[in-house]
Amino acid sequence: MNRPTYRVTELLGDGIGDELSRAVHRLAESLPVLVEFVPVDLRVASRRARGMAIYDDAVASINETTVALKHPTATTEESPNAVLRRRLNLSVIHRPVYTIPGVPTNFRRELDLDIVRIATGGTYDDPGRMIGEDGAVSLRIVERGPVREAARYAFNLARKTNKTVTTASKYTIQKATDGLFEKVANEVGDQFPEVPHTIELFDALLGKVIMSPQKFQIVLVLNEYGDFLSDMACGLAGSLGIGASANLGFDAGAVVRVALFDAAHGTAPDIAGKNLANPTAIFLAFSMLLYQIGEIGLGQAVKNATLDLLREGVRTRDLGGEESTESFTKVVADEVARRLAARPRPHSGRADAEPPPSRATEFESADPSRPPTT
């Protein structure tokens, strides 16, 4: 049987990067699709030998495959993450934050948030300015383009996963900047009438996420708010180092052009090469990648199998378990294969019945305001 094939740029990393790469390959083999990894070596030795030219290779490959999985890299002369973000114009970050079984937390509730953060503008590019000795001003920038991109991504995600969107800002106080944000988000939301959209004041949202986390699913926010909310949510979930995120770049029509997925943790040099690395975060990053290429069912299977096994106590040592990187990977891969075998694969192997997209993504081609991009 011909399996659908997907090409994925794989950015090789330092420390535990090689072990994580082997783990993801093993996991990918359990899927009823062929994932063809196109490696680009971002290890320190390669970066030193090739200089900035290695990023030309990385950018060319990602532009070609449109999706990439990145392993952690040591920051040396430059930060590979910063270089890639700049070179690929990755302007939106999607960071799911949920309580992960086995990860200790002070929070006793279940949390499952998708934070979609506009990662440009705000006050981050502003050098600020003193006014005399005793005052200072800063400039906060909000632009229609990135808000539109992030909003389209958030509402498309909501449509595909049957979730709700909450936008949160201080539009009653920051009338110009946050008012523009809410206006653009509303305009985009109007194109998705079936997606419930609620608006919260950002300070109220923080309290409500703590009091009633089940009320919130996808939360769309400007840069600073996304920064604050991500850290608060990760603190609640206790999963600062175990999450994953998507870094998204868009074309002129606000359609996702490239998506780079990575784990939140670093290179963990202290345990490198010891078969101790926990591959959960890279599995969750890979699960997001599967969603993005339209393999929603496979993405769900990878995420749910991983979390269910953690819940059952199948854990690596960092989470108090006995498993090694390899044994944990094998259990997850076998469980994913078992679950997928028990479920007939829909037409063309996809969770929906649309033809596979070529360059644009599942979420994007689902926007009714645009023709499907195949």
- Residue ranges that bind ligand ATP, judged by CB under 6 A: 16, 72, 74, 241, 265-271, 277-278, 281, 318
DSSP helix/strand/coil, 172: coil
Distances (CA, A) of 5 to 11, 113, 303, 357: 19, 30, 21, 12
Q: Residue 278 CB, nearest distance to ligand ATP (Å)?
A: 3
Question: How far apart are alpha carbons 192 and 194 in whole angstroms?
Answer: 6
Residue identified by tokens 């299977």 is 301
- Are the CB atoms for 214 and 110 separated by under 8 Å? yes
> Which residue, 115 or 268, is less far from ligand ATP as judged by CB?
268
Q: In the numeric block, which tokens belong to residue 140?
A: 């906060």
> Which residue, 255 or 281, is less far from ligand ATP as judged by CB?
281
> Which residue, 257 or 265, is less far from ligand ATP as judged by CB?
265
Q: Which residues contact 275 (CB under 8 A, 6 or more apart)?
A: 19, 324, 325, 326
Tell me which residue has its CB nearest to ligand ATP: 266
Q: Residue 39 CB, nearest distance to ligand ATP (Å)?
A: 20
Spatial strand order of the sheet with 256-263 comes to 34-41, 5-12, 67-70, 256-263, 244-250, 90-98, 112-118, 218-221, 165-169, 197-201
> Which residue, 46 or 123, is less far from ligand ATP as judged by CB?
46
> Which residue, 24 or 147, is less far from ligand ATP as judged by CB?
24
Question: How far apart are alpha carbons 225 and 245 in whole angstroms?
Answer: 17
Please count the other Cβ atoms lying within 10 Å of the Cβ belonging to residue 343.
Answer: 9
> Which residue, 147 or 277, is less far from ligand ATP as judged by CB?
277
Strands 34-41 and 90-98: unpaired
Please count the other Cβ atoms lying within 10 Å of the Cβ belonging to residue 107.
Answer: 14
Fill in the DSSP letter of residue 120: S
> Which residue, 96 or 297, is less far from ligand ATP as judged by CB?
96
Dump strand ranges (E) for 251-359: 256-263
Dump strand ranges (E) for the chain: 5-12, 34-41, 67-70, 90-98, 112-118, 129-131, 135-137, 165-169, 197-201, 218-221, 244-250, 256-263
Q: Residue 2 CB, nearest distance to ligand ATP (Å)?
A: 35
> Which residue, 233 or 282, is less far from ligand ATP as judged by CB?
282
Q: Residue 337 CB, nearest distance to ligand ATP (Å)?
A: 23
> Which residue, 116 or 277, is less far from ligand ATP as judged by CB?
277
Q: Residue 321 CB, nearest distance to ligand ATP (Å)?
A: 11
DSSP helix/strand/coil, 123: coil
